[in-house]
């Protein structure tokens, strides 16, 4: 294995996946077959590397066969069950885990049952939820605070399960692994519905590679708080755009958008709703050039009041702000905000406090301003997704298909993409207050019904706001000679008008937890990444910024 270049294998697999034409290769069997043929024809890999790449493809194929209950079964030579997997037997893996139930406990029957139920639905050896003793974690260091959780880095001494040894009939561990700890507060006081949702999303996270992998739960004996033990990734979408936006072509931006929509497609297909999609919990792996969604089912405090909403306000659908509750279509609204952010490189409503004034403006149909030229089909789809009427938004199937059509069209017609690129001021975004990038609890009362704003209302709202962009004539090869800039500025007098019925509203936008208030007052970092899982030393708080975040990246 020492001669295998894992980074080249991951790059080849990423190229294979991005080359799939889903209109031709319909169904996961044909898609995996295409990837195998693509890898075999890849001259950048040695024969040994191709063999390893094919093994990884077959491992994921095994998992998808079990998820979909679709494939040729074989009789396991050990347990005599008819299994779908070829590299292991799913029944043997589950029996092994069951035989170890008596060897561990969290000390909480509800938590124990949650983990046991997850293990009995295990699909593959490398995606198993465990109870992880706290003394198996070392080098624990504070990283940042996100929403109602504190984030730490740590080394997991034994590491996670990676494969099944058919000969020895046991699971094999990876060895020491860098991980993220996301501390969950007030789990002891959580409702039963929270635990049911937690089980659902832990199981879903280990069924779909769309979700950032959670290895299990642990508990800090000093404060009795539970933590999720999660995979380390490089950065979130917000950071990625800050670092790379000025070099991104429209072809690349469309691919990123499609990949995020593809991940949400699998979440909705499993009858789950995310509820807190924003650029802080869309995470990037540079190792295999892939995007993942994090914090599914664990956004917000476990004891959140039932009458409140939790999230990052610019990404919350107007009907949710109005108290109608989260639906699949509210996730679609959040996708529209992400599409805008990918288009223009900055968070939506960046110049606004996340308060009741912004809430009523969103209710009134105000949406982020389209500053420069973007592909017309992309623009139309984005505007459909942020319609005030959720019934007029596309469902995830329609959104996926339309975005796939857009990506396929411009893959074959790249010269038709806009060449004028809006350049962002990185320093201005870096200096924005941390509270504008944090999910929190909101309480709004007596709000009017959501509506779409007219073009005149939208223009009147933005005539008083300021945006610092310059438009670049970069071509896809980023030739320096082709760079031409045109400045676009809008006056900002911080107007608070355009809010119908605002004087009649009684609204309270409260930060429920005192420690969260202290975080806002202290503003411990330039950007407090909300609900994210990442490895970035710039995210340390001021009092702990001398601590090093351990290097390391692990991808399933």
Average confidence (pLDDT) over 222-226: 88
pLDDT at 320: 92
Confidence category of residue 220, pLDDT binned at 50, 70, 90: very high
pLDDT at 119: 94
Q: Kindly report which listed range (48-57, 146-155, 318-327, 337-346) carries the lowest average pLDDT score.
A: 146-155
Handedness of CA 302, 304, 307, 308 (dihedral sign): negative
Average confidence (pLDDT) over 447-451: 88
pLDDT at 394: 98
Given its phi and psi angles, is residue 128 left (phi above 0), alpha (psi -120 to 50 degrees) or beta? Answer: beta
Average confidence (pLDDT) over 194-214: 73
Average confidence (pLDDT) over 4-28: 88
Q: Kindly report which listed range (57-66, 196-205, 423-432, 542-551) carries the lowest average pLDDT score.
A: 542-551
Q: How high is the mean pLDDT of the chain?
A: 79
Give the integer Cα–Cα distance in Å for 335 and 268: 13
pLDDT at 541: 37
Structure tokens at 259: 């990949």
Average confidence (pLDDT) over 227-240: 92
Query: Where in the chain are the domains?
Result: 6-71
pLDDT at 347: 92
pLDDT at 416: 81
- Judged against a pLDDT cut of 80, whether residue 546 lies above it is answered with no
Handedness of CA 142, 146, 149, 154 (dihedral sign): negative
Structure tokens at 332: 């679609």
* Burial per residue of 166-179, b for 16 or more beta-carbon CB atoms within 10 angstroms, e otherwise: eeeeebeeeeebbb
pLDDT at 312: 87
Handedness of CA 101, 105, 109, 111 (dihedral sign): negative
Give the integer Cα–Cα distance in Å for 59 and 260: 23
- Higher model confidence: residue 51 or residue 276? 51
- Higher model confidence: residue 365 or residue 497? 365
Give the integer Cα–Cα distance in Å for 194 and 114: 11
Average confidence (pLDDT) over 169-191: 85
In terms of Cβ atoms closer than 10 Å to its own Cβ (0-12, 13-18, 19+), residue 28 is middle
- Judged against a pLDDT cut of 70, whether residue 192 lies above it is answered with no
Residues 109, 326, 333: CA angle, nearest 5 degrees: 135
Give the integer Cα–Cα distance in Å for 145 and 530: 7
Model confidence over 117-168: pLDDT tens digits? 899 999 999 999 999 999 999 999 999 876 567 889 999 999 999 999 999 9
What SS3 state is found at 307? coil
Q: What percent of the chain has pLDDT over 70?
A: 72
Average confidence (pLDDT) over 248-273: 92
Average confidence (pLDDT) over 267-275: 87
Model confidence over 485-532: pLDDT tens digits? 333 333 333 333 334 433 333 333 344 334 433 433 343 333 333 333
**β-pair type (74-75, 440-442):** unpaired
Give the integer Cα–Cα distance in Å for 114 and 15: 37
pLDDT at 399: 98
Q: Kindly report which listed range (58-72, 151-165, 174-188, 460-474) carries the lowest average pLDDT score.
A: 460-474
Give the integer Cα–Cα distance in Å for 504 and 24: 56
Q: Kindly report which listed range (121-125, 205-209, 410-414, 449-453) carries the lowest average pLDDT score.
A: 205-209
pLDDT at 439: 64
């Amino acid at each position: 294995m020492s001669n295998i270049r894992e980074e080249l294998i991951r790059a080849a697999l990423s190229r294979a996946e991005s080359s799939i034409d889903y209109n031709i290769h319909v169904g996961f069997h044909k898609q995996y077959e295409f990837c195998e043929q693509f890898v075999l024809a890849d001259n950048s890999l040695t024969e040994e590397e191709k063999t390893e790449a094919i093994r990884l493809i077959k491992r994921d194929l095994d998992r998808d066969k079990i998820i979909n209950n679709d494939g040729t079964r074989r009789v396991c030579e050990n347990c005599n069950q008819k299994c779908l997997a070829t590299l292991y037997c799913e029944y043997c893996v589950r029996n092994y885990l069951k035989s170890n139930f008596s060897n561990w406990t969290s000390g909480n029957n509800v938590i124990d049952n949650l983990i046991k139920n997850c293990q009995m639905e295990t699909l593959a050896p490398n995606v198993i939820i465990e109870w992880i003793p706290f003394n198996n974690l070392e080098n624990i260091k504070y990283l940042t605070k996100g929403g109602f959780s504190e984030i730490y880095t740590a080394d997991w001494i034994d590491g996670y399960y990676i494969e099944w040894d058919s000969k020895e009939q046991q699971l094999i561990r990876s060895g020491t692994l860098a991980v993220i700890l996301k501390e969950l507060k007030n789990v002891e006081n959580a409702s039963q519905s929270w635990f049911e949702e937690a089980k659902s999303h832990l199981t879903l996270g280990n069924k779909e590679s769309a979700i950032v992998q959670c290895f299990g739960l642990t508990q800090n004996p000093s404060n009795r708080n539970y933590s999720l033990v999660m995979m380390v990734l490089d950065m979130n979408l917000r950071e990625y755009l800050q670092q790379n936006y000025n070099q991104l072509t429209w072809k690349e931006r469309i691919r990123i958008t499609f990949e995020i929509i593809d991940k949400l497609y699998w979440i909705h297909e499993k009858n789950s709703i995310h509820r807190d999609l924003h650029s802080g919990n869309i995470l990037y792996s540079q190792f295999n050039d892939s995007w993942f969604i994090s914090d599914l089912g664990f956004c917000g405090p476990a004891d959140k009041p039932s009458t409140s909403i939790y999230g990052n306000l610019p990404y919350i659908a107007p009907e949710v702000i109005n108290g109608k509750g989260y639906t699949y279509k509210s996730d679609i609204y959040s996708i529209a905000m992400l599409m805008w952010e990918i288009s223009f490189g900055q968070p939506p409503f960046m110049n606004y406090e996340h308060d009741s004034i912004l809430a009523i403006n969103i209710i009134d149909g105000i949406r982020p301003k389209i500053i420069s030229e973007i592909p017309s089909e992309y623009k139309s789809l984005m505007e459909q997704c942020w319609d005030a009427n959720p019934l007029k938004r596309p469902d995830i199937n329609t959104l996926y298909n339309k975005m796939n059509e857009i990506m396929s069209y411009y893959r074959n017609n790249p010269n038709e993409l806009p060449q004028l690129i809006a350049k962002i001021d990185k320093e201005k975004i870096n200096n924005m207050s941390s509270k504008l990038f944090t999910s929190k609890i909101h309480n709004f009362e007596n709000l009017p019904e959501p509506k779409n704003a007219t073009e005149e209302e939208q223009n009147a709202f933005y005539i008083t706001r300021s945006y610092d962009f310059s438009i670049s004539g970069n071509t896809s090869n980023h030739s320096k000679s082709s760079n031409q800039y045109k400045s676009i500025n809008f006056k900002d007098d911080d107007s608070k008008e355009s809010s119908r019925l605002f004087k009649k509203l009684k609204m309270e936008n409260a930060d429920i937890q005192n420690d969260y208030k202290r975080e806002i007052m202290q503003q411990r970092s330039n950007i407090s990444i909300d609900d994210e899982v990442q490895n970035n030393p710039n995210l340390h708080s001021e009092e702990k910024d001398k601590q090093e975040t351990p290097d390391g990246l692990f991808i399933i």
